[in-house]
Amino acid sequence: MNRGLIILGVLLLMASPIVALYYRIEYYDIFGNLVRIEYPLLPYGFVLAIVAIIVLVLGLVIPKKVETPPTTRLCPQCGRMLTEEARFCPYCGKELG
């Protein structure tokens, strides 16, 4: 699960019906006739909804980026594997630089 993608998908899905609304202009021309212009944005709303669903599915399928394991090094005295942050070897007590 990838929370960022899921949130993005939900937002896009919520935005798609708004985009799908008709954009309408009404005005009277110089002769007094009502002129109505409608821009059908419905296809864009559908496209956005499809994109939103794809993003949602990707968010569910793609796993969150796995954390890289902490880098390790070897104790110079006993040769055991230590974490990079260790200041002393927990096995032999050697102080590490």
> Which residues bind to Zn ion, rule: CB under 5 A?
75, 77-78, 89, 91-92, 94
CB of 58 to Zn ion, least distance (A): 46
- Our CB check for Zn ion shows the closer of 4 and 76 to be 76
CB of 85 to Zn ion, least distance (A): 15
CB of 84 to Zn ion, least distance (A): 14
The CA-CA-CA angle for residues 81, 85, 89, to 5°, reads: 45
Determine contact, residues 57/76, Cβ cutoff 8 Å: no
C-alpha torsion angle, residues 75, 79, 80, 82 (rounded to 10): 20
CB of 89 to Zn ion, least distance (A): 3
- Our CB check for Zn ion shows the closer of 4 and 90 to be 90
Helix/strand/coil percent split, the chain, to 5? 40, 20, 40
Phi and psi for 40 in degrees, rounded to 5?
-70, 110
- Our CB check for Zn ion shows the closer of 77 and 83 to be 77
- Our CB check for Zn ion shows the closer of 8 and 96 to be 96
